[in-house]
Amino acid sequence: EVQLVESGGGLVQPGRSMKLSCAASGFTFNNYDMAWVCQAPKKGLEWVATISYDGSSTYYRDSVKGRFTISRDNAKSTLYLQMDSLRSEDTATYYCARLRLLQWYYFDYWGQGVMVTVSS
Amino acid sequence: DIVLTQSPALAVSLGQRATISCRASESVRSSMHWYQQKSGQQPKLLIYGASNLASGVPARFSGSGSGTDFTFTIDPVEADDIATYYCQQSRNDPYTFGAGTKLELK
């Protein structure tokens, strides 16, 4: 059974940093691209970042470029999101998601999410 | 960025058909996917590639469309289907989601 379990969220002050983790199990982690998707309170879903299966390529939405870093440790089957210079608008639930590539890319499994609150 | 437009809410009766639309600001060909999100839960993949049913998803759910106009259907609607449904495109970066359609009971 595919499982994605996020951790590391909480309350953080504006301008500070936070690192999220996502522990994966039930599949061969290093065969899949992975992503982070966020959801602000009472709002819709927003893609944040993607990393290729081997970590060689990363992609970010414009609003987090230069502030967030996605990475992975395939030996530990773990995905990370380092979030620096946090802003109030980064407040959201962050989901780790597996990317499946057939003819299209889509998010086929999601973690339960972790809440990040940026506030003084 | 490609903008996906969904109606905010849809009220249906149990046992009836629910049809949710998603319109893309430019063609995404068949790169459209649908997710269900129940209150307090993570999203769940239902349909990928516009019309393909994800593993384990009941055949009551279906999707159609290509280009800019897509439809997601539940027939018949069951009580457990009350949720918000999101469309998402992966034709162009950045991947974008619709704002979601909240399915409500009449």
**Amino acid A50: pLDDT:** 97
From A102, A104, A110, residue closest to B43, measured CB to CB: A110
**Amino acid A103: pLDDT:** 87
pLDDT digits over B49-90, tens only? 999 999 999 999 999 999 999 999 999 999 999 999 999 999
If you measure CA to CA, which chain B residue comes closest to A41?
B40
pLDDT digits over A90-104, tens only? 999 999 999 999 889
Residues of A in contact with B95 (CB under 8 A): 47, 105
Structure tokens at A19: 């690192």
pLDDT digits over B19-48, tens only? 999 999 999 999 999 999 999 999 999 999
Region B87-98: mean pLDDT is 96
Q: Where are the beta strands (DSSP E) in A2-119?
A: 3-7, 10-12, 18-25, 34-39, 45-51, 58-60, 68-73, 78-83, 92-101, 105-110, 114-118
Inspect the interface and report whether the beta carbons of B30 and A103 lie closer than 8 Å: yes
Segments of chain A with pLDDT less than 70 = none
